[in-house]
Structure 1
Amino acid sequence: MSTPPQPSQPADQPAPQPGQPAPQSAIPPQPTAYPYPNPQSPPPGSFYAQPTLVGQPAQPQAGVPGNPYAQPPRYGPVPAAPSGGGGGAGRAVLWVAVGAVVASAAWAAGVFLIGGMGDSADLRGYSAPSNMCSDADYSSFKDEYPESDSSPTHSSLKDRALDESYCSLNLKKTGSSYADAYLSIQVDLHRKTDPAPEFTATWKNYDDSHTGYDVNPVKGIGDEAYLVSQDTTSGSSSGSRYATLAVRDGWVTYTMSYSAYLSSYDQDKNPPGLTDVSDWLKTDTRATLEQLKG
């Protein structure tokens, strides 16, 4: 590390004689744990580096009266080109400034047109109804569950970032007082962010985070779709059958989920198999997505 320049000897202090120790500074150097030069101190020899004599106040900067610490302005107004001939230097400065303005405007336009501020939601004409229970198609389940739910649950959300509509239904066989199975339907219109990466991570890898589930991609519905299912009824009088069809079409996501429990069925009856349920989910999902585009 180079030794910093020492302050000049004051005029009223005698120079050290040979064989005598040099006089000590009035303020000894202070130790520091910072091994590098002060980033706010100008390097020796720079335009702003001006040594300060011990015992003398710092001199104010030219053009900044009364303020010894003020730095001269680094930027100023662009000088106008001199009139007449011989104004090449002035015109060069002016053209540099104009070029900087044009470059900044072009950069801003590029950000707006290419990405960031210019991105728009790819909703493909879908809408989120206020009552999904009345707008969704689940007619494929009617043969197995002909009784209507007299009080289905529904909710909706309208926001600048997200539109959402949800429905939950009790599915009942003929003569049932209570639900034999359950159906839920939800659509989300993502207005600010593309849901594709998270949708794929969630549903394509569902069996990685949920033990005992099967995941199968479904072709021909939206941009991507996955059927997630589980059957725990084999060889027992209890258990459940579950299936969800999750679809993404642009920035719109949709799920239709079925679940049934053996404890809800009569002992001599069983819920429909997952093959039938999967076909019903696909048929009704296609029909509902078409209606939500209407």
Structure 2
Amino acid sequence: MISDPELDGAGETRPAQPAEQTALPPPSGREATGARARRPWWWALGGAALASAVWAGGLYAWGDRLAAPDLSYRATENLCQDFAARKLSRIAGDLHRYRPVNRQDDRPAVHRASCSLQNGESVSTLHVTAQVDLHRRTDPGPEFDVPPAWHPSETGAGRTEEVRGIGERALFLVGPQETSAELKVLHGGAVFTLRASGNEPKTPADTAVLRAAMAEDARELMTALKK
């Protein structure tokens, strides 16, 4: 079959010659080695493009994780002044009476404030710690479910209960020996944590009362720090 005419260098046309179908012998020796050596270059180019696409896709998928989280709470200068602990004080006595301990740790990624309270001078039956972490760069949501590190003396597994009606998510965790409990509340880039520990195991009724008091005190703290 004759293809369309091609333009000659002088402006004239000439019929295009059909391509000769000449079978080439398979490469051998050094030619075959060179062909095999050149082939991975193309595969490497394709692999690099594929890796770039996968990396870009992963970066897109992690976009929410890498983006700065929303913070609707201010950084406290003295958490012991903002954390009233009214409900917990009704259970065990005035928690602000005995040397409240306030700590601050302000870093570019996370601003952390904590307040430690107890209901006795040398001997106390209830020790409470409030902690506020304001995450400025990454979303704390993916790590929110990580269980706390209980005291080494508490062997076994604790239990976790979901608390509704406070923040975006809230978890109430009870230690293995029923002597400690923790309430964690997630709201945007802020994580509020209340820990309570005593000298004796709690009954289920005591734990239910403790949970309700911690939830109310956490709500009050969140309101106090709201921008």
Q: 1:147 to 1:131 in 2, by over 3 A?
A: closer
| 2:28 matches 1:2 | yes
Residues of 2 paired with 1:217 and 1:147: CA distance?
26
- CA drift at 1:255: 0.5
Structure 1: unaligned runs, 5 residues or longer: 6-34, 42-110, 233-239, 264-269
User: How many residues end up aligned between the 2 structures?
Assistant: 174
Structure 2 counterpart of 1:129:
76
Percent of residue pairs identical:
25
Measured against aligned partners, the alpha-carbon deviations of 1:37-79 in whole angstroms (never above 9, x if no partner) come to: 27899xxxxxxxxxxxxxxxxxxxxxxxxxxxxxxxxxxxxxx
Q: Which has the higher strand share?
A: 2
Query: Which residue does the alignment assign to 1:139?
Result: 86
- 1:218 is matched with 163
**Rg (Cα) greater in structure:** 1
1:155 and 2:103 aligned: yes
**Residues in 2 aligned to 1:2 and 1:224: alpha-carbon distance in whole angstroms:** 69
Shift of 1:132: 1.1
Q: CA deviation at 1:145?
A: 1.4
TM-score by length of 2: 0.64
2:134 maps to amino acid:
L
Point out 4+ residue stretches in structure 1 off by more than 4 angstroms: 38-41
Counterpart-to-counterpart distance in 2, 1:291 and 1:36: 71
Counterpart amino acid of 1:291? A
User: Which structure ranks higher in relative contact order (CA pairs < 8 Å, sequence separation ≥ 6)?
Assistant: 2
Decide whether the 8 Å contact of 2:98 with 2:119 is kept in 1: no
Distance in 1 of aligned mates of 2:39 and 2:157: 60
Residue matched to 2:37: 37
Measure, in 2, the Cα distance between the counterparts of 1:2 and 1:183.
81
In 1, the alpha carbon distance for the partners of 2:224 and 2:216 equals 13
Contact 1:137 1:285 in 2 (8 A): no
Hey, what does 1:242 align to over in structure 2? Answer: 180
1:247, 1:191 → 2: CA distance?
A: 17
Quote the residue 1:165 is aligned against: 113
Distance 1:145 1:231, change over 3 A: farther
Q: What are the Cα deviations for residues 15-55 of structure 1, in whole angstroms up to 9, with x where unaligned?
A: xxxxxxxxxxxxxxxxxxxx9527899xxxxxxxxxxxxxx
Structure-2 separation of matches of 1:198 and 1:285: 20
**Alignment partner of 1:286: what SS?**
helix
Distance 2:119 2:168 in 1: 30
Supply the AA of the counterpart residue of 1:152: P
The answer as to whether partners of 2:156 and 2:176 remain within 8 angstroms in 1 is no
Pair 1:191–1:142, CA change in 2 (3 A):
same
Amino acid at match of 1:282: A
Which of 184, 187, 197 matches 2:142? 197
Once the two structures are superposed, what CA deviation does each residue of 1:227-249 show, in whole Å capped at 9, x if it has no partner?
111474xxxxxxx5221111110
**Deviation (angstroms), 1:278:** 0.8
* RMSD of aligned residue pairs (Cα, Å): 3.7
In the alignment, does 2:133 pair up with 1:188? yes
Write 1 or 2 for the structure with the bigger share of helix.
2
TM-score by length of 1: 0.51
In the TM superposition, residue 203 of structure 1 has moved relative to its aligned partner by 4.2
Asked whether the 8 Å contact 2:85–2:95 carries over to 1, the reply is no
Partner of 1:154: helix, strand, or coil? strand
1:257 alignment counterpart: 195
Partners in 2 of 1:223 and 1:40 — Cα distance?
52
Cα distance in 2, alignment partners of residues 129 and 37 from structure 1: 65
Q: Are the aligned partners of 1:241 and 1:274 in contact in 2 as well (CA < 8 Å)?
A: no
- The corresponding residue for 2:15 is none
